[in-house]
Structure 1
Amino acid sequence: MSKLKVVVIGTGNIGGIAVRCLQGREDVELVGVWGRSQHIGLDAGLLDTDQPCGVIITDSKEEILALKPDCAVMALNVRDPLEAQNVNGAWHVELLERGINVVTASDGSLVFPPSHSDQAYVGQLEAAALKGGATFYANGQEPGFVDHMAMLATTMSNTIRRITSYELFNYASVQERREMADIFGFDELPEKQAILETPGSQLYVWGGPLINVADKLGYKIERFEELYEKRVAERDIKVAFGIIEKGKVAAIRIRTSAYVEGREAIVVEHVNRMCDDIAPDWKKADTHGCMRVEIEGDPNIAIECTIGDRTKPEELGYDGYLMTVTRIVNAIPYVCAAPAGVTNFRELPMTTPTSAFRSDAIAIAHRILRP
């Protein structure tokens, strides 16, 4: 059986890890990587390991398209939502129209396409996919896996009062300050407004999972609420990107909720800290990071997914990216076999990995933890 030819678009954390995760599989083969600036001409294997893979990074879209891949892993990191839609969308349409399947973690709002705020954009992707006979699929850790985990938990429910999905992370190991400051508000004075503090921003990210879960249970959401709280450091805190000074933001709580039949029914809550002892009254994990689903109902149910090695908290950030990547890389064979169009995880079989028991020498021994 011939292998599926795969290209990776983007050379950041997601792209680099995707290159590593594609190595050694029996049914897929990395044939090309597109990137920008400093990575041009570099062996793609060196993005995330110290082992070359033989694929040289190019900045030529024409070279990538000429490879006629079966699937593209879209891994461009564009923070502004509108710009991301424009940049990623241009790639998506061209790839799909050429019959190239697309998997991506770059736009969480497409994990459940019917919930996307711009249905004209979804329609554009659908038309391109049908024209080329290709399939588009978006997923990730959250949105993506956590909504999936919440749905799985409800299979044990009789009646439900409320479903809450938690992300409980200590972010002290994150090495890039800009993302932590701009998006979450960490290491800023409390009066500075973070992106996730602006009205509507939470719904852009987590409205989809709320709608997805409600839809799966057969309900329409009546209204949403957004809550953003912050706590400042009471002492200087050393983190991977430097020092968070006393008086600057060192913990945040983000709560996005959906109301069904007049009551709060589905919630996504993030509690993120830069040290374990701050905000002790907020929900806390027993490890440096976990995703937890709690269902209040008949019966009460709790499912928790911890991340990484408890003895190596410095790897938490990396393992979070890794879990995001595997949600799309593992899906490649299933997406390539799916009917043309825009799909989602509810329409695919369970996307278990292929060649999972292969040697993990590349997977573990040579990976590089980097910003």
Structure 2
Amino acid sequence: MAEQQTSLALPPAGKRYRVVQWSAGRVGTSSMRAIIDHPDMDLVGLWVHSESKAGRDIGELCDRGHLGIAATRSVDDVIALKPDCVMYMQEGYDADDICAILGAGINIVTSRGEFHSPPRMDQELRRRVEAACEEGGASIHSTGISPGFITEAFPLVLTSIARRLDCLTIDEFADMTASCSDEMLLDVLRYGGTPEEASNPHLVHHMTANFGQSLNVVAQALGLSFDDIQTTAENAVARERIPLMGGRAIEAGTVAAMRFTVAGMRDGKPLLQFRANWFCTTDLDADWSIRENGWRVQLEGDTPLDIYIGMPVDCSPEEMPLVMAGYTAQRGVNCVPYVCAAAPGIRTSAEMPQIISRLG
């Protein structure tokens, strides 16, 4: 259960954490494995959306053998377990469930991007969540790899050597064919269509809401502010036909790459910006300087830096989606002790100590 301490409190030595996983998709499955393997954590429950998973042993659902704990679809069952923390990692979110968990005094670590920065949140959602945190003495923290580590923790480290920041740009490079099904690529994200067909206002809004909040955390921590957050979307088309793993294809002349730029603006110029380069091939009609999976972070100011972070993952195409999910899940798992030690409320990366993994 939540302990009322300052948001910068360090986790107490020797404490064990009872953790419930909420949702068992790719990220949730990676999270369960990380919790089971963590020396200071016990996986005590699992909430699932699917009726087919309800009642099944949670260890078997993440390939960790029989644990003797059945998955549930009931938030009341989760609360009755009295965990220290819930790893909330479902698609979308249910504000009623989140508030019930927090109101019961149970902390939440979530991969949902709607909770990164209170000033940029939906203000009615913020009001409800903060009231639940106050009622239960619990905290909620949103994190992951992107947004999260690369858009918050890493920039805060880099700017710790600076006294002037002109612009910080994060380019994300992601080969979408390595982690997405044919249906996700073609039917949901709209690759393989004309540029007009690929236009997706919902995705633009999603990028603004998630990455705009995350960039705002960094700006506030640095004592800066944005005049506005602007998001632009671009498409590039394939020069050749691209066969996909599921048997379908992206045809030549159709959209095979998307670029979304979320920029925190100050005095008419980008101060902090995140640029997602999500591609299905590097053979495009546009020169976007595409690199392999990873990030390029450029710091302009009195201590200029240009850093590339790659992901040299060696696994089969079938294993890649779950491996990539681990990048998001494990950041969250490592945050659990810090969130449990934090003061009640919606906690940001800038309000907590540096997250240090407990590996042994």
Would the TM-score normalized by the shorter structure come out above 0.5?
A: yes
Distance 1:250 1:339 in 2: 45
Q: State the partner residue of 2:109.
A: 103
| CA positional deviation for 1:300 | 2.0
1:306 maps to what in 2? 310
1:203-239 Cα distance to aligned partner (Å, 9 max, x none) = 2122112322222222221123322111222222122
Question: Is residue 329 from structure 1 mapped to residue 333 from structure 2 by the alignment?
Answer: yes
Shift of 1:32: 0.7
Q: Which residue of 1 aligns with 2:228?
A: 223
1:347, distance to aligned residue in structure 2 (A): 1.2
2:7 match: none
- Cα gap change, 1:297 to 1:317, in 2 (>3 Å): farther
Distance verdict in 2 for CA 1:171–1:214, change over 3 Å: same
Does the Cα contact within 8 Å between 1:10 and 1:33 map onto a contact in 2?
A: yes
- Measured after TM superposition, the shift of residue 330 of structure 1 is 0.8
* Counterpart for residue 60 of structure 2: 46
C-alpha spacing 1:151/1:183, structure 2 compared with 1 (3 Å): farther
Structure scoring higher RCO (CA < 8 A, sep ≥ 6) equals 2
Q: 1:270 to 1:119 in 2, by over 3 A?
A: same
Tell me the CA shift for residue 313 of structure 1.
6.5
Preserved contact between residue 100 and residue 134 of structure 1 (Cα < 8 Å)? yes
Q: CA RMSD in A?
A: 2.3
Query: Retained in 2: the 8 A contact 1:96–1:132?
Result: yes
Q: Give 1:29 shift.
A: 0.5
| Unpaired segments ≥5 residues, structure 2 | 1-13
Aligned: 1:34 with 2:40: no
State which of 89, 97, 100 in structure 2 corresponds to 1:91. 97
Q: CA, structure 1 residues 191+176, in 2 after alignment: closer, same or farther (shift >3 Å)?
A: same
Cα deviation, 1:39-72, whole Å, max 9, x if unaligned, reads: 1232222333363343321223332222111111
Q: 1:139-288 maps to which residues of 2 (within 5 A)? A: 139-147=143-151, 148-181=153-186, 184-195=189-200, 200-242=205-247, 243-279=249-285, 281-285=287-291, 287=292
Residue 345 of structure 2 corresponds to 341
**1:163 partner amino acid:** L
TM-score with structure 1 setting the length: 0.85
Q: How high is the TM-score relative to the length of structure 2? A: 0.87
Give identity over the alignment, percent. 27
In the alignment, is residue 75 of structure 1 matched against residue 72 of structure 2?
no
Pairwise CA distance, 1:144: 0.9
Task: Tell me the distance in 2 between the aligned counterparts of 1:338 and 1:92.
Answer: 18
Unaligned runs of 5+ in 1: 79-83, 358-371
Greater alpha carbon shift after TM alignment, 133-142 vs 224-233:
224-233
- 2:30 match: 17
How many Å separate the matches in 1 of 2:201 and 2:328? 20
